[in-house]
Structure 1
Amino acid sequence: MTSADGRFDAAVTGIGMVTPAGLGTQASWERITAADGTAARPVPALAEIRASIGCSIPDFDPAAAVGRRKAWRLDRSSQLALAAAAEAVADAGLDPATWDGARVGVVLGSGIGGAASWEKQHQILRDHGSQKVSALLIPMLAVNMAAGYIAMEIGARGPNFVTATACASGATAVGQARELLRSGRCDVVVTGGTEACLIPSIISGFQQMGALSARQDEPGAASRPFDVDRDGFVPAEGAAVLVLERPESARARGARIRACVSGYGASADAYNATAPEPSGAGAELALRAALDDAGLAPESVDHVNAHGTSTPLNDLMEARLIRRVLGEGPSVTSVKGVTGHSLGAAGAIEVAVTALTVQNGLVPPTANLTSQDPEIDLDVVAKAPRPANVRVAVSNSFGFGGQNAVVLLTRP
């Protein structure tokens, strides 16, 4: 709904999550708010490389989640996305059998796509020759296919695409989904992000660039955003999907509105392929754009769900940005202390958690924050969840290539 001052609110009516913190939204939320350490463990597929820990989802059963006949044809990233989408649509109280599919869109974020299928089939090619490579390789690895499969599952015949802005992909997807509602092109948009690439080739790449935590023998303490002893991120897999509608449509059918997406901003650092611009000038453009889009002043922000990767450079840059633009007022948290960093899915997981924070009036603590970096002059929530009156919150996401996305959420 566009208000008199020009602000457009997109209602979050459904959330689905499949994360290292738990299967389903409630299980994920409970583990994230408990913040009892990183959900990391040794990953069997990584046993032969030095960086062998990750935040995986060992209890996920693809056959149970999406059906045995479908599961074998899909990359794990698509399996996770379908499971999260099914929960989100059900949570919204929508029945795909009754909606006008031409008015339903799907916008999903993914940084890497079906890399696990690619790596597996490449090994088959080397060991057994081209005749043994799966005929399904291309639809398994193509980055757009998770969105395509969701559309097939729920009969969504509106715009369908994937955003690929590295670790900002999920947040970018939510921002673009809101634009489909604002333009009038769609009445419902299913949006979010997915990633599943805990595989040797990808993790070795991060390992070689020095981005990962060296705490391989302490997986539960490895991801520690904003801590003085942080030393890198812990890779993860996961998916989160949100259902967005116009508030007036949601209210007309008696739907619960968890929160509203009221602002979105995007920008580029134009600085470095992998390192953030140290001053945060590029990220600041995205944050100020989200505030302007929502028609809100910086001092109105009550809470920040930070990108907070647990890397020395990112956390310091982001802390300076938050302090410079938003001041000392907002509470700050990073869920990556629990979930690790799920790359293209991270922004979607964090937007979902931010929506739950707004709805529940409860800020999750930052796991493993035992000694806050003295250079990080922020009110970072640690040790225990904090009850709070969160009316306005922002979720920051930054990606390789200097791509930044900020989603602003408000209480309905």
Structure 2
Amino acid sequence: MKALPLIVGFGGINAAGRVSMHHSYRRLVQDALDETRMAATWQDLSTLMGTTNRQAILDGTLIRRIEAASHFDPSAIPNQNKANLSNANGFNFELKRRQLPDPLPAGWTVVGESAGQVQIRVDGDMPVLVPGSFASKVSSAGSLPTGFDPSSYYNAAHHPRGLQLAVYGASDAIQSMGMDWSSVLERVRPDQVSVYAGSAYSQLDQAGLRGLYQSPMTGSRITSKMLPLSLPEMSADFVNSYIINSVGNTGTNVGACATFLYNLRQGMADIQSGQCRVAIVGNSEAPIVPEIIEGFRVMGALAEDDQLRQLDGSDIADNRRACRPFSANAGFTIAESSQFVVLMDDALALECGATVFGSVGEVFVNADANKKSISSPGVGNYVTMAKATALARAILGDAGLARTFVMAHGTGTPQNRVTESHIFNEVAKTFGIQHWPISAIKAYLGHSQAPAGGDSLTAALGVWAEGLIPGIKTIDHIADDVHRSNLDILMDHKAVGDQGEGMDGALINAKGFGGNNASALVLSPNKTLELLRQRHGQNALDGWQGRNEGIAAAQADYDRRTRENGLKVIYSFGQAVMDETDVSMNREQLTLSQFATPIDLPQHNPYLD
């Protein structure tokens, strides 16, 4: 049998707050939870945001107007405009000697010099760039909670924001397991760990590619970190080098907005095949920068303020309701997020006593084939959703399949509401599903690009903690062109049992530019434990339960400390560094000084034995 990938930890941060222990999920459904069930989440957000004011916490989370303090002022974005200065008598001006271009531009002549200043004569016209500003037509985004600064959690000098979020997210996920990482490494070989993490758009702020390309044109200097720290897989590199000290499998898959599920598939496949026993999977994206917003806007992809005003017949753009999946809408809302999950094979998880938050049944990835536009949807998502649903039926049976729900890609664009609803509806009809619950949490969080599937996955895990499937509270009707004869597109939170026992599984859907489609089947904790009982027997499960008591207590303690004092990020720069003197080997094994267990070297021809 294949190893079963169990979800034993998860963490990160998005517009709703810290992800671990279901805090960001609870912020989504807070209007349906009483004060007792929300108390820990309010405390966590208070610490995260540096305020005890409840209204400030509510106003400073989820989709809202872009805040100048953390990003930029959308009403005054700096830019430069080309101009051509003309004067019949030419131009005379002074420059500091060190500011003098070399070689001189055409028409420039140095006519004098004194005290480090040079006098310049320009004959003819002079092209210049004139500083100015413009108001963005898009002012909404799924920004991280107001007051949260990822660079304040560790020595993050000159790190792009996306990498800062990766350090925070991976640290949260690893500590959420309730066991020291060193104790995990004691049970596995050093090469039995996989890390798949990255970004879809690289690092795009001033410390990354934005600075790399803009600096020569703005008179600034390119630094030694801008290029290397912008590589798409750098999130995985940071996790390996500074957080878990790993020499295992590593990399990232990039599939536009389906990237998280692509990486989840890679980690899952490594565990199923025995290539690894633990996989850390995640993505981090920080795309709330003016150039990216403008790039998406000119594609017609984002909801502009004027369009929101028209939808509401109002003089004011409702930033809070910028994203309206499956309703009258205008475009998606960009967001930032960091999402990480920790997977273990089932045998190791039972041995460790790890908490079981669920399991990954499978992730299916299929392309769109020939299409008219690279950005338009195609047929691939029919394939992924049909496969995921068929597998859910094979594992859960027809009755169990009826007890599943869908976390839609649900971007809030007019095209998505038609195409994705048609996919879901046709699949539901084919498999005899009536009133299939459909949730779309981008209504609250916005579209974080690469981590978007992670936003959906961790929210789905919350359903099995509090028993509520998040409704789409930003809409007041379903659009007429939405297909829904067999769907229940939730406009309000749906209660499914105290701890979600009414749902046996969730299907996570993601669609990306270029024809990148992915659909994942995630099984509930209860169904996962049933599978473990069938695979390992009741005695093994009883032993696991006893060991889990200590793990659960450690998780509760981690959560309490983090709520009270903030997250203690793991970042071990320059510690336990190994070089050639730390490596020893023979023909059978290779040993590293920092690891007690050696790495076995291949001894047989796998294509003949």
**TM-score scaled by structure 1?**
0.91
Question: Is the contact made by 1:337 and 1:366 (CA closer than 8 Å) also made in structure 2?
Answer: yes
Q: Say if 1:78 and 1:293 are closer, same or farther in 2 by CA, change over 3 A.
A: farther
Q: Say if 1:384 and 1:393 are closer, same or farther in 2 by CA, change over 3 A.
A: closer
Match of 1:110 in 2: 199
Rounded Cα–Cα distance in structure 2 between residues aligned with 1:204 and 1:169 = 22
Does 1:253 find its partner at 2:347?
A: no
Give the match's secondary structure for 1:231: coil
Say which of 346, 363, 370 aligns to 2:469: 363
* RCO higher in structure (CA 8 A, sep ≥6): 1
Matches within 5 A, 1:193-212: 193-212=283-302
The one-letter code sitting in structure 1 at the alignment partner of 2:233 is N
The one-letter code sitting in structure 2 at the alignment partner of 1:34 is Q
Match of 1:13 in 2: 8
Give the match's secondary structure for 1:407: strand
Say which of 422, 431, 437 aligns to 1:320: 422
Match of 1:386 in 2: 495
The one-letter code sitting in structure 2 at the alignment partner of 1:276 is P
| Larger deviation, residues 72-81 vs 34-43 | 34-43
Q: Say if 1:104 and 1:164 are closer, same or farther in 2 by CA, change over 3 A.
A: same
Match of 2:138 in 1: 51
Rounded Cα–Cα distance in structure 1 between residues aligned with 2:406 and 2:302 = 24
Rounded Cα–Cα distance in structure 1 between residues aligned with 2:469 and 2:248 = 35
Question: Is the contact made by 2:366 and 2:518 (CA closer than 8 Å) also made in structure 1?
Answer: yes
Question: Is the contact made by 1:358 and 1:392 (CA closer than 8 Å) also made in structure 2?
Answer: no
Rounded Cα–Cα distance in structure 1 between residues aligned with 2:254 and 2:398 = 28
Cα deviation, residue 145, structure 1:
0.3
Cα deviation, residue 393, structure 1:
1.1
Cα deviation, residue 292, structure 1:
4.8
Say which of 213, 237, 244 aligns to 2:303: 213
Q: Deviations over 1:96-132 (max 9, x none)?
A: 2231442111112521011112113433222225xx2
Match of 1:346 in 2: 452
Match of 2:439 in 1: 333
| Larger deviation, residues 105-114 vs 256-265 | 105-114
Cα deviation, residue 46, structure 1:
5.7
Rounded Cα–Cα distance in structure 1 between residues aligned with 2:398 and 2:262 = 21
Give the match's secondary structure for 2:252: strand
Say which of 214, 225, 233 aligns to 1:144: 233
| Larger deviation, residues 30-39 vs 106-115 | 30-39
| Larger deviation, residues 289-298 vs 249-258 | 289-298
Question: Is the contact made by 2:140 and 2:322 (CA closer than 8 Å) also made in structure 1?
Answer: no
Match of 2:363 in 1: 264
Give the match's secondary structure for 1:233: coil
Structure 1 residue runs without a partner (length 5+): 3-7
Q: Say if 1:133 and 1:109 are closer, same or farther in 2 by CA, change over 3 A.
A: closer
Give the match's secondary structure for 1:143: coil
Say which of 285, 296, 306 aligns to 2:408: 306
Rounded Cα–Cα distance in structure 1 between residues aligned with 2:303 and 2:359 = 35
Rounded Cα–Cα distance in structure 1 between residues aligned with 2:418 and 2:190 = 45
Say which of 20, 35, 39 aligns to 2:63: 39
Question: Is the contact made by 2:407 and 2:509 (CA closer than 8 Å) also made in structure 1?
Answer: yes
Match of 1:86 in 2: 171
Rounded Cα–Cα distance in structure 1 between residues aligned with 2:196 and 2:398 = 28
Following TM superposition, the consecutive aligned residue runs of length 4 or more in structure 1 with deviations greater than 6 angstroms are none
Rounded Cα–Cα distance in structure 1 between residues aligned with 2:398 and 2:362 = 12
Structure 2 residue runs without a partner (length 5+): 32-57, 78-135, 309-316, 529-609
Does 1:97 find its partner at 2:193?
A: no
Rounded Cα–Cα distance in structure 1 between residues aligned with 2:390 and 2:405 = 17
The one-letter code sitting in structure 1 at the alignment partner of 2:509 is N
Q: Say if 1:32 and 1:156 are closer, same or farther in 2 by CA, change over 3 A.
A: farther
Q: Deviations over 1:319-351 (max 9, x none)?
A: 111111124332110000000000111011112
Task: Give RMSD over aligned pairs.
Answer: 2.1
Does 1:402 find its partner at 2:489?
A: no
**TM-score scaled by structure 2?**
0.62
Give the match's secondary structure for 2:300: coil
Rounded Cα–Cα distance in structure 1 between residues aligned with 2:62 and 2:413 = 15
Q: Say if 1:374 and 1:38 are closer, same or farther in 2 by CA, change over 3 A.
A: farther
| Larger deviation, residues 156-165 vs 23-32 | 23-32
